[in-house]
Copies of this chain bind each other. A is one copy, B any other.
Amino acid sequence: MATGLSIGDLSARTGLAVSAIRFYETHGIVAPLRNDGGHRRYGRADIRRLSFVMAAQTLGFPLSEIAENLQGLPAHKAPSKADWTRISKGFRVKIDARIAALTDLRDKLDGCIGCGCLSLQSCALYNPQDVKGSEGAGPRNLTGLDG
């Protein structure tokens, strides 16, 4: 094992499929070096990078946005503590926003349960906050956070 991790190693460490890691590369999320044989060589920092991706995904962030966030980190050298702190803080803001949105919706629903949703005019479900109209084909942004 010359330098760095193979894609298989990285797969074992992160739990991601090898194919997924290659796929992420095409989306600019990781940018491994190559050895003489043309095989990918990853650095230790890439484990953390991918872990961040996985965590962000469980929150519903689209890959495109995750990739943007990661643009702030150095591609081939280990990021500094300041780098990660900055990214993590931005992440926390998003989480807070989602918790707030869910809490708001829960409160509205409580009103709905009481009224039995019989009056359409004042129903919170009937009048959702901000409906974003159709924007072409493809799956919808289910979590409506992308802000």
Q: Interface on A for B, CB 8 Å cutoff?
A: 15, 17, 20, 47-48, 51-52, 54-55, 57-61, 81-82, 84-85, 88-89, 91-92, 95-96, 98-99, 102-103, 105-106, 109-110, 112-113, 116-118, 120, 123, 125-126, 128, 131, 133-134, 139-140, 142-144
Q: Which residue of B lies closest to A19 (CB)?
A: B134
Q: Give this chain's copy count.
A: 2
Known A58-B142, A102-B99; judge A133-B15 contact (CB<8 A): yes
Known A17-B134, A140-B57, A143-B60; judge A92-B120 contact (CB<8 A): no
Give every chain B residue within 8 A of A85 (Cβ-Cβ): 113, 116
In the complex, the 7 A-B pairs of residues with the closest C-beta atoms, listed nearest first: A81-B116, A60-B142, A51-B126, A55-B125, A88-B113, A84-B117, A95-B106
A109→B85 CA distance, assembly (Å):
10
Known A54-B128, A123-B51; judge A102-B59 contact (CB<8 A): yes
Give every chain B residue within 8 A of A81 (Cβ-Cβ): 116-118
Give every chain B residue within 8 A of A57 (Cβ-Cβ): 140, 142
Give every chain B residue within 8 A of A120 (Cβ-Cβ): 47-48
- State whether A109 touches B125 (Cβ < 8 A): no
Known A95-B106, A99-B102, A131-B54; judge A139-B140 contact (CB<8 A): no
Give every chain B residue within 8 A of A20 (Cβ-Cβ): 134
29 CB contacts below 8 A, A to B, read A15-B131, A15-B133, A20-B134, A47-B126, A48-B126, A51-B128, A54-B125, A54-B131, A55-B128, A58-B105, A58-B142, A58-B143, A58-B144, A59-B102, A59-B143, A60-B142, A61-B142, A85-B113, A85-B116, A88-B109, A88-B117, A91-B109, A92-B109, A92-B110, A92-B113, A95-B102, A98-B102, A99-B99, A143-B143
